[in-house]
Chains A and B, each alone.
Chain A
Amino acid sequence: MREQPNSTSEDHARLPVVALLLWALVAFAIPALSQALNIVDIFALPLGYFMVAQGALIAFVVISWASARWQDRRDARRAGER
């Protein structure tokens, strides 16, 4: 049976504000600071380039995973309260 669109356990789903702020920080601050970060090296890669090429993308996945986990737990807690 399909889950009803207005399922009770998720009535209060809100915008994940913290995750969105982190998203904006990673997507916009890192490219802007890329040249300044290039002074530092990590794994023999200049940090600024590495952050734009790979670090930011990995950060997106981490934010996504943490946010999904947090929302799953909150849903489970809500379901438990009822």
Chain B
Amino acid sequence: MPLDGQGAVQGRAHAGPALAGFAITFCIGVVILLLAARFGAPAWSDGGYWAIGIAAAAAVALAAGAPRLMAASSSFGGMSLAAGVLTAAYFLAIPGVIFAAGHDGLAYALGLGAGGLLLQLVIAPRFARSGADSLPGLFAARFPGRAVALVSLAVITASMVLLLVAELTAAGFVGMRLLGVGFPMATIAAACAVLACFVLRGAWGSATANGLLYLLMLTALLVPLAVVSAQWYGLPIPQIAYANSLWQLQGIEENLLEQELADPAYMRPLLTAFLTLTPTSFIGIVVGLAVGVAALPSLLLAPLAAVPARSARHTALWGLGLLVLLLTLAPAAATYVRHAIATLIADKTPVAELPGWVFAYGKLGLVHICERAATDISAVVEACAALPEAATALRLQDIVIDPDVVALALPEIVGLDSIFMGLFAVAVIASALATAHAPLSVIVRALGLGSGAPAIEPTRGIRLGSYVIAAAIVAASATLALLRVAGIIDVATWAVVLAAAGLFPALAAALWWRRANAWGAAAGMLAGFGFVLVYGLGREFFAVPFYAATSALSSGGEAGLQYFDELKDAWLAAEPGAAKDAAWVALNAHAQTVADWWGVSGPATVLLALPLGFLVLVVVSLLTPAARGLETAP
């Protein structure tokens, strides 16, 4: 890849027409849809957004083939980096998690931002200078041998598959809304499109073209929020204008409490910290996301790989700045949605006059009113009448929206034209399909296909092999996505946390510590990754023996242990049969709440796994002979 002045100039010359073509195609599509909506074809136009999203992703995939686009400026590289950090998953889920969890949801945005900075300070410049084309490439050059290759393959695959699951879930939700089909259908359609875009781009295609998506994502989130800010407060800067909404919301929520239209137990005021997360979990999520983003294999590719350190530094700086621009919009989005819904309740809106979005998402099972899916007015009336404490008006806790669709529903909830929903949907689909390329590409590289030779045209066999691998990975991810075991934000967080626990110590050592050798790196990765698995699975499925063995480290303290012993005696004493089973359930449930070392649970496990990974890496490296003649680390 030439990086001299001429190459860079040509790169810009090629980026221009690609950008223009992308914009023109997009605008024509939107205009056609606008006309279709005007002349009364709403169902048809919703499907059209789906098509535009796929077309945009395909356009990006084709633009990646433009030979010199990859040598574009650092601002464009930064755009693709920001799109790669955010992905469709976080783009869709972060406003939702702030909406649902209030202040504690901010941990996710904070963690991603902190990760962008850590990437820029510690990883990007040295990684770029190492000359490696990807993380597997760096490991292969710095830690030769099969041990590191195998362990890193396992960790990279686990992390990247989870990221794909989160992205497919995001695309699946949007597909449900646009196509009116079930989640499985929409997810499978998205998976097929991901694969098509992968084939279109090729396994070694550049990720830099994803920068086009950043513009789409920014427009899709910024424009509706700016319009609402201007309409409500006369100030089209959402990041500042939403302060008004925060205060008004606080007033409305206090009123609702006074009128008993809201249950204090369900109320999560946006300004109050640590209602849903403990401080340990909050910090754990920030650390996990920050360290994980710095080590995320899907980011250590084209715009950061094999460029001068200075260029990588500036690309990462641009990436962080643009990422922060999007992340600071998320609290505004969450506040506006809460404000609109609280107003709906405060106005004592009768069920018959509920806005259309309630039923549009209720039909998909994503909005529940009075504990039942809000499919239509009569279903809602029936459900609310069936509640034990049947109230005259809807209460705040009666309306429950799936947090994963809050961002998508935002334009409709705050009362904007449905074209904004379409725009947002296009952004989510296009970014899901296009940013899914990097995880697939990394797995293909980690498997050793054509690694280390990006300049050489891969043979036909290798190319077909990469398609087969990608198809298998996409199929596995789609299968996992269909299980819907957790929300988008949780799956996406675990993907990054696995990268943090498994890959960061080895990556940092590869770049900064010459004495680190392959044995140390393999052992460190295995320790960090293995700890997360054993700790997480142990707490989840073997809570009783896990707690019995490690009760001294638990956050439950003396009282927790005493209660555990009582429950255990009850279980041992119970007659075999239903009584014994019930006693076990009680014992297991209690053990799950106290089986945590120093109160660490969930993604915060990284707080224990990271030091362990570093420690094992250092000790094993020092106990085994130093590698010779490998001067990748300066």
Contact = CB atoms under 8 A, between A and B. Distances in A.
Interface of A: 1-3, 5-7, 10-11, 13, 15-16, 19-20, 23, 26-28, 31-32, 34-35, 38, 43-46, 48-49, 52-54, 56-58, 60-61, 63-65, 67-68, 71-72, 75
A35 B331 CA distance: 17
B283 to A, nearest CB: 6
Given A54-B331, A57-B328, A5 B131 contact: yes
B105 to A, nearest CB: 10
Given A31-B286, A49-B271, A54-B331, A23 B114 contact: yes
B435 interface: no
Contacts of A6: 129, 631, 634
Interface string B102-138: 0100110110011011101110011001110000000
15 contacts: A1-B2, A2-B1, A3-B3, A10-B309, A23-B114, A27-B290, A31-B110, A44-B244, A45-B243, A48-B271, A49-B270, A49-B271, A58-B328, A60-B116, A64-B117
Contacts of B286: 27-28, 31
B308 A23 contact: no
Contacts, number: 135
A2 B2 contact: yes
Interface string B303-327: 0001111100110110011001001
A2 B121 contact: no
Interface size range of chain B in the complex: 35 or more
A31 B324 contact: no
Interface in B474-493: none
Contact of A7 (B116, B129, B316): B129
A60 B328 contact: no
Instruction: Indicate the member of B117, B317, B331 with the most A CB atoms within 10 Å.
Output: B117
Given A10-B309, A28-B286, A31-B107, A58 B324 contact: yes
Contacts of B512: 15
Per DSSP, chain B at the interface is: helix
Nearest to B3: A2
B247 interface: yes
B366 interface: no
Contact of B313 (A28, A56, A71): A71
A80 to B, nearest CB: 15
A64 B106 contact: no
Contact of B114 (A1, A11, A27, A46): A27
A20 B126 CA distance: 16
B240 interface: yes
Instruction: Indicate the member of A13, A35, A53 with the most B CB atoms within 10 Å.
Output: A53
A23 B111 CA distance: 11
B122 A57 contact: no
Given A43-B243, A45-B243, A64-B316, A75 B121 contact: no
Contact of A57 (B130, B247, B274, B324): B324
A49 B244 CA distance: 14
Nearest to A5: B131
Given A3-B3, A34-B103, A60-B320, A52 B110 contact: yes
Contacts of B283: 28, 31-32
B304 to A, nearest CB: 14
Nearest to A38: B271
B122 A15 contact: yes
Contacts of A63: 117
B192 interface: no
Given A6-B634, A53-B109, A64-B117, 4 more contacts: A2-B2, A10-B309, A48-B271, A60-B320
A44 B309 CA distance: 42
Given A31-B107, A46-B271, A72 B331 contact: no
Contacts of B117: 19, 23, 60, 63-64
B258 interface: no
A48 to B, nearest CB: 7
B14 to A, nearest CB: 19
A44 B271 CA distance: 13
B120 A57 contact: no
Given A44-B244, A49-B270, A23 B126 contact: no
- Which 8 A-B pairs rank lowest in CB-CB distance, beginning with the nearest? A5-B131, A53-B331, A57-B113, A27-B114, A60-B117, A57-B324, A45-B243, A3-B308
A1 B307 CA distance: 11
Contacts of B331: 53-54
A60 B309 contact: no
Contacts of B287: 27
B129 A5 contact: yes
A40 to B, nearest CB: 13
B273 interface: yes
B338 to A, nearest CB: 14
B279 A32 contact: yes
Contacts of B4: 1
Nearest to B632: A5
B2 to A, nearest CB: 7
A63 B317 CA distance: 10
Contacts of A35: 272-274
B282 interface: yes
A5 B312 CA distance: 13
Nearest to B125: A13
B121 A64 contact: yes
Nearest to A3: B308
Instruction: Indicate the member of A45, A57, A68, A72 with the most B CB atoms within 10 Å.
Output: A57
Contact of A64 (B270, B310, B321, B327): B321
Nearest to A46: B271
Nearest to B279: A32
Contacts of A7: 129, 308-309
A31 B126 CA distance: 30
Nearest to A58: B324
A48 B106 CA distance: 12
A64 to B, nearest CB: 5
Contacts of A3: 3, 129, 307-308
